[in-house]
Structure 1
Amino acid sequence: MIKKETGKTALEYIQLKIMGLAKQKLSDGKKTVNEIAYELGFQYPAHFTRAFKKSTGLTPVGYRSLN
């Protein structure tokens, strides 16, 4: 159903939503990158950083400094 509605696979859709939440939390600036990574369900902060950079082209710290 998700593919039919959005044109994206379920995995792609979930990843986009997670990165959207990550951007909100990073812009807020109240929590560390590690805290955000754990809140979003990443076992290791490095995995979060890698996924975020793949999605946005910026590291979480780099994104935070721009906003």
Structure 2
Amino acid sequence: MSSECHGKNAWPELVGTNGEYAASVIEKENTSVDAVVILDGIPVTADFRCDRVRVRVDRNGIVVKVPTIG
């Protein structure tokens, strides 16, 4: 589905970085998305959106999964 979306759609290089930092990098590299920092494991909606990137972090605020559009 991410092929429907414009611009960069995944940021594997941000795993292990601070979530807020990762969100700022994502929004700078793809101005069509809003990056939302969330705690890994919390329930989220399953809808796919080209304008959203969920940045999943652990309790220390470190990115634990590859942020992708969706």
Q: TM-score, normalised by structure 2?
A: 0.37
Give the structure-1-normalised TM-score: 0.38
Higher percent of residues as helix: 1
Q: Name the larger-Rg structure.
A: 1
Higher strand share: 2
